[in-house]
A and B are shown apart, each in its own frame.
Chain A
Amino acid sequence: MQVFTDTNFEFISKRKIAYIVSLTLIGLGILSLLIHLGPNFSIDFEGGTLLDLRIYHSNDTQVSVGEIRDALAKIDMATAEIQIAEPEQRKTLPEGDKYDTYTNMMIKVKGHQKPDAEQDPLAEKIKDTIRQRYTNANLEVLRQEEVGPKIGEELKWKALLAIFWAMVGIILYIWWRFEFKFGIAAIVALFHDVLITVGIFSILNLEISLAIIAALLTIVGYSLNDTIVVFDRIRENLRLLRRQSYSDIINASINQSLSRTVITSATTLLVVLALLILGGGVIRPFAFALLIGVLVGTYSSIFVASPILVEWQLRKEAKEKRSRKERRKGRR
């Protein structure tokens, strides 16, 4: 099967539309960030406690958010975030166990509490409180996390450094393999991708955890992947097709690499979708970030990185024209 052979879409001449779309998306994202006063950081960065619990109970016991909140109020934790899933039937019942239903719940308390060596840590207190409330049930810990304030701060810092060094590495690499202006175009496209992804997360009020930062960096690497393929073609064509205008060469390059770009994105997308749908709750936010990243990354290689090269060139040509005019004027 072959598609996209000898296409001639007008990517460059219609680039203004792309600018508007991108700016709108970024604008919405920034607006959301402002409204929410910054990204919704998980306990990885803010410190706090996360409890992912499962209660095994009998069919007629009701586990509701209200009841849990009441129970937590006793230890002054009524403001915790509580999510309760639909109760489900157990597929296999161990011997002697009479609880045939289970309900998953997630309790989050953000912000740190003073580490008190004497008292039980918060996670234990919450679990005990819930056990007391549901005496006719079995509580199991799916996972629990407690992050102290020091570690939270450090991770924020580490994440920032990671992004910084990744950018540095990338600029250096592109500078080495291509020209400087390619590097700038690529970096702008990457910032664009990260901004939109973070923006979408903010709009949907999803948490930014350490895993999401990892996803962002992966997106950066992957989007660059894509961008380089287009740049590579551009570089090749600039050498071959000297007659045509810069814009035309770039447009042609994009069209030529379109087949490959779309297909790779498609396969990666399919694979990420599989991860999103089947990978389970723990990896879902990560997969979602990757999904947005792949889509936006592909878009940016075509509609952001390449047009920037064109803009750069046009500006250069305009400057040269002006200075030539000046010189001619000067000679008269």
Chain B
Amino acid sequence: MKKGFYIRLAIVVIAIALSVFYLIPTFKRAAMDDEKVETLQQENAEELYSLEEKAINLGLDLQGGMHLVLGLDKSKLETEEEKEDALKRALEVIRNRVDEFGVREPIIQKQGDDRIIVQLAGIQDEKRAKNILNKTAYLEFKLVQSGDQTQELFDKIDETLAEEEDAAEQDTTGDIQEELAKSTLLEDKPFSSLFSMGGMVSEENLPKAKNYLNKPKVKRLIPRNITISWGKPIEGNEGEQLYPLYLIKEDTRPQLTGADLENARVDFGEGLDPKTAGKPFVSLTFTDNGGDKFAELTGNHTGQRLAIILDGVVQSAPNIQEKIRGGKARITGNFSMDEATDLKIVLRAGALPIPLIIEEERTVGPTLGQDSINSGVRAALIGLAIVVAFMIIWYKGSGVIANIALAFNMLFILAVLAGLGATLTLPGIAGIILTIGMAVDANVLIFERVREELRTGKTVRAGIDAGYSRAFRTILDANLTTLITALVLYQFGTGPIKGFAVTLSIGIVCSMFAAIVITRLFFDFFVEKFNIQRLSI
């Protein structure tokens, strides 16, 4: 046999064996139907995860899922230290929140110094996921100003506004009749009249009320330790949305925030009151320190109302009936099960140090994901079939050899993908399909060269030798340039494009190996063994 034949054969056989070995997990996983997956997950989750880890990863565009880029809004931070710290803390909070989703293998990474990338496979409800991740979740407990003081303030506001309107009108009309006719409750109490019993404003009056409160004259009336906060809308008797207004005492001491929480849980209302029975609420447990502060707060201000504020919106403001020593509190207020659960999640995970902005979102649903897999595989198989047929027609016997090499080529590509833990995306599948077309190129170069050499009268053996050696440099040149562009694509591309670059690169390398080494083995074998005089090429 030709020199080095057996060494080359050994290398190829080892490569094939390794490839099959690396691909076994993928086949096993693909062969498992949904039921089996469920059972295995219950019984031996470890095994399932390790199997999936070794199998080929599917990109989000194939298995369905959400890709989010969250940007940190560092505008309000001052020191460099705070800014660096913010990213770390935000990362941790996001990790905690995602943990609660129970998504398999979420990917959470930082990008640069002000971005966090979150990838959640198989997410069904994008809206909820985004809400949970996005929420700053800053929880505060502050006292609400008493009813009397509130009434006082409202009266003052009414006076100021009424004066203003009077002044405005006097400029425009001099008709006393008209003035008298216009004097209504609305004019006397422009602000208070917007409010129903219980201090709430209807949805249509809300903008007007907010407008009034924004006027500089009105703002000056509000004491400095008071913040005006609107509460969560409550459903009125006729199903309309009513917005309560709270006057929050910013100087409430001791200060109690979400940082003082030990735990949060969703519980259901007991009792017979139809408003609360069976309805979900969030039950809070304070840390020891927090519990003490809570006891102090409630002890000192029994009879007043305590507002529970989340991100500046008052969730509820129950009356403090007595000093609460147990370190427990509850946030009630018309939650749906989802809302309560989401609130629990963000409270448990902790508040974000700074607001996050969703800068990019790409979500693929499972239906499209599966469709893409089907189309991709179909296109790949048909493409493969066409090329196989073509090679046989064009190059006859040698074409068959090229096809065998192509088959191994595919095996190698998939094995390398599995071995590297690389992710297969839809463009990645396109990359493999492209490789099929281009893998043929190397073979064509060799075969055409061999044909030429044979035409000049060389013997079969010499023709093959010359063909391979001459073509090798050309193949190298040509493939290296495609590798350069693949490298550039990998460097600058995102997600799916990176996947494309990876499969293209792997494809090129594997196809060179298959085209040059494997086909040569076949040729050498046949020529030696059967002493072929005329080459079927």
Interface residues of A (CB under 8 A from B): 1-2, 5, 52, 54, 115, 117, 120-121, 123-124, 140-148, 150-151, 155, 158-159, 161-162, 165-166, 169-170, 173-174, 177, 210-211, 214, 217-218, 220-222, 224-226, 228-229, 232, 256, 259-260, 263-264, 266-272, 274-275, 277-280, 282-283, 286-287, 290
Check A268 against B489 for contact (C-beta < 8 Å): no
Q: Residues of B contacting A217 with CB < 8 Å?
A: 485, 488-489
Check B358 against A146 for contact (C-beta < 8 Å): yes
CA of A174 to CA of B478, assembled, Å = 10
Q: Residues of A contacting B371 with CB < 8 Å?
A: 280
With both beta carbons as reference points, the residue of chain A lying nearest to B131 in the complex is identified as A120
Known: A148-B358, A162-B491. A218 touches B436 (CB 8 A): no
With both beta carbons as reference points, the residue of chain B lying nearest to A143 in the complex is identified as B364
Check A148 against B481 for contact (C-beta < 8 Å): no
Check A286 against B489 for contact (C-beta < 8 Å): no
Interface-centre pick from B365, B383, B481 (highest chain A CB count, 10 A) = B481
Check A148 against B359 for contact (C-beta < 8 Å): yes
Query: Shortest Cβ distance from B427 into chain A, in angstroms?
Result: 6
Cβ of B445 within 8 Å of any chain A Cβ, yes or no, is yes
Q: Kindly list 13 other residue pairs between chains A and B, CB separation below 8 angstroms, not including A268-B437, A282-B372.
A: A117-B355, A121-B130, A143-B368, A151-B359, A162-B489, A173-B480, A221-B486, A269-B437, A270-B383, A275-B433, A278-B375, A280-B375, A282-B61
Q: List 27 A-B contacts (CB under 8 A).
A: A143-B365, A144-B361, A144-B363, A145-B362, A147-B360, A155-B494, A165-B492, A166-B485, A170-B484, A173-B481, A210-B497, A221-B484, A221-B486, A222-B438, A228-B474, A256-B452, A260-B444, A268-B434, A270-B383, A270-B390, A271-B383, A271-B386, A274-B382, A275-B383, A277-B379, A280-B374, A280-B426
Q: Residues of B contacting A124 with CB < 8 Å?
A: 127
Check A278 against B379 for contact (C-beta < 8 Å): yes
Known: A145-B361, A270-B437, A274-B379. A218 touches B485 (CB 8 A): yes
Cβ of B268 within 8 Å of any chain A Cβ, yes or no, is no
Check A225 against B482 for contact (C-beta < 8 Å): yes
Interface string of B433-462 (1 = CB under 8 A from A): 110111011001100100110010000000
Q: Residues of A contacting B484 with CB < 8 Å?
A: 166, 169-170, 173, 221
Query: Shortest Cβ distance from A138 into chain B, in angstroms?
Result: 12
Cβ of B387 within 8 Å of any chain A Cβ, yes or no, is yes
Query: Shortest Cβ distance from B201 into chain A, in angstroms?
Result: 18
Check B434 against A290 for contact (C-beta < 8 Å): yes
Q: Residues of B contacting A263 with CB < 8 Å?
A: 394, 440, 444, 448
With both beta carbons as reference points, the residue of chain B lying nearest to A3 in the complex is identified as B394
Check A282 against B368 for contact (C-beta < 8 Å): yes
Check B489 against A54 for contact (C-beta < 8 Å): no
Check A271 against B387 for contact (C-beta < 8 Å): yes
Q: Residues of A contacting B357 with CB < 8 Å?
A: 115, 117, 148
Check A229 against B445 for contact (C-beta < 8 Å): yes
Check B364 against A142 for contact (C-beta < 8 Å): yes
How many B residues are at the interface, by size bracket? 35 or more
CA of A220 to CA of B493, assembled, Å = 16
Known: A148-B358, A221-B486. A1 touches B394 (CB 8 A): yes
Check B427 against A211 for contact (C-beta < 8 Å): yes
CA of A66 to CA of B473, assembled, Å = 60
For B430, give its contact among A225, A256, A279 (CB under 8 Å). A279
CA of A151 to CA of B114, assembled, Å = 13
With both beta carbons as reference points, the residue of chain B lying nearest to A264 in the complex is identified as B441
CA of A21 to CA of B360, assembled, Å = 42
Interface residues of B (CB under 8 A from A): 61, 69, 71, 126-127, 130, 134, 355, 357-365, 367-368, 371-372, 374-376, 378-380, 382-383, 386-387, 390, 393-394, 426-427, 429-430, 433-434, 436-438, 440-441, 444-445, 448, 451-452, 455, 473-474, 477-489, 491-494, 496-497, 500-501, 504
Query: Shortest Cβ distance from B485 into chain A, in angstroms?
Result: 3
Query: Shortest Cβ distance from A276 into chain B, in angstroms?
Result: 8
CA of A74 to CA of B436, assembled, Å = 50
Main secondary structure on A side of the interface with B: helix
Q: Residues of A contacting B362 with CB < 8 Å?
A: 143-145
Query: Shortest Cβ distance from B58 into chain A, in angstroms?
Result: 14
Known: A54-B367, A166-B488, A211-B496. A221 touches B437 (CB 8 A): no
Q: Residues of B contacting A266 with CB < 8 Å?
A: 390
Known: A115-B357, A121-B358, A146-B361. A264 touches B488 (CB 8 A): no
Check A151 against B394 for contact (C-beta < 8 Å): no
Query: Shortest Cβ distance from B70 into chain A, in angstroms?
Result: 10
Interface-centre pick from B355, B393, B430, B501 (highest chain A CB count, 10 A) = B430
Interface-centre pick from B445, B491, B492 (highest chain A CB count, 10 A) = B492
Check B386 against A283 for contact (C-beta < 8 Å): no
Check B493 against A224 for contact (C-beta < 8 Å): no
Known: A115-B357, A145-B362. A274 touches B504 (CB 8 A): no
Q: Residues of B contacting A162 with CB < 8 Å?
A: 488-489, 491-493
Q: Residues of B contacting A147 with CB < 8 Å?
A: 359-361
CA of A107 to CA of B477, assembled, Å = 45
Known: A162-B492, A173-B480, A217-B488. A287 touches B445 (CB 8 A): no
Query: Shortest Cβ distance from B93 into chain A, in angstroms?
Result: 16
Check A228 against B477 for contact (C-beta < 8 Å): yes
Q: Residues of B contacting A225 with CB < 8 Å?
A: 438, 441, 478-479, 481-482
CA of A272 to CA of B387, assembled, Å = 11
Known: A221-B482, A228-B474, A271-B386. A283 touches B426 (CB 8 A): yes
Query: Shortest Cβ distance from B436 into chain A, in angstroms?
Result: 5
Query: Shortest Cβ distance from B231 into chain A, in angstroms?
Result: 15
CA of A217 to CA of B215, assembled, Å = 58
Check B481 against A278 for contact (C-beta < 8 Å): no
Q: Residues of A contacting B486 with CB < 8 Å?
A: 218, 221
Q: Residues of B contacting A174 with CB < 8 Å?
A: 481
Query: Shortest Cβ distance from A150 into chain B, in angstroms?
Result: 6
Interface-centre pick from A1, A166, A218, A221 (highest chain B CB count, 10 A) = A221
Check A283 against B427 for contact (C-beta < 8 Å): yes
Check B444 against A283 for contact (C-beta < 8 Å): no
With both beta carbons as reference points, the residue of chain A lying nearest to B368 in the complex is identified as A142
Known: A143-B364, A210-B494. A228 touches B358 (CB 8 A): no
What 6 pairs between A and B have smallest CB-CB spacing? A280-B375, A221-B485, A271-B437, A268-B437, A162-B492, A221-B482
CA of A237 to CA of B16, assembled, Å = 39
CA of A286 to CA of B493, assembled, Å = 15
CA of A143 to CA of B434, assembled, Å = 25
Query: Shortest Cβ distance from B515 into chain A, in angstroms?
Result: 12
Q: Residues of A contacting B383 with CB < 8 Å?
A: 270-271, 274-275
Query: Shortest Cβ distance from A95 into chain B, in angstroms?
Result: 16
Query: Shortest Cβ distance from A7 into chain B, in angstroms?
Result: 13
Check A274 against B386 for contact (C-beta < 8 Å): yes
Query: Shortest Cβ distance from A141 into chain B, in angstroms?
Result: 5
Q: Residues of B contacting A52 with CB < 8 Å?
A: 368
Q: Residues of A contacting B374 with CB < 8 Å?
A: 280
CA of A196 to CA of B437, assembled, Å = 23
Check A270 against B127 for contact (C-beta < 8 Å): no
CA of A249 to CA of B250, assembled, Å = 89
Q: Residues of B contacting A214 with CB < 8 Å?
A: 427, 489, 493, 497, 500-501
